[in-house]
Amino acid sequence: MPEAKTILLFLITALAEIVGCYLPTLWLTQGRSIWWLVPAALSLAAFAWLLSLHPEASGRVYAAYGGVYIFVAVLWLWAVDGIRPGPWDLIGAAVAVAGMAIIMFAPRPA
């Protein structure tokens, strides 16, 4: 089940990154308290730490993570922004997740 662990870790990582970027957006665009930057910074620190937990080479992890980030961002669009993803959003997210799977789980010589 290393694949399931990798995917779960990527999902949690993406959520940490999105929250870390969303909270400053609320402060900048909606006049929320500057104190929202504290959990934002903590969330972005968690994001960086979570990326470091993968045993693969960092460049491979960063490249593959981008696919999961796209998928989670489309879910965020629906759940938080209240905008239902269209077919092209879903197709794009599926292509990105397929790219992640190829990068992370393709057979490699030992």
DSSP state of 53: T
Per-residue confidence (pLDDT) for residue 1, from 0 to 100: 62
Cα gap 99→101, rounded to integer Å = 5
Cα gap 109→28, rounded to integer Å = 48
What is the average pLDDT across 16-30?
A: 96
Question: What percentage of residues in the chain have a pLDDT greater than 90?
Answer: 82
Q: Is the pLDDT of residue 21 over 80?
A: yes
Write out pLDDT tens, residues 27-75: 999 989 999 999 999 999 999 999 999 888 888 899 999 999 999 999 9
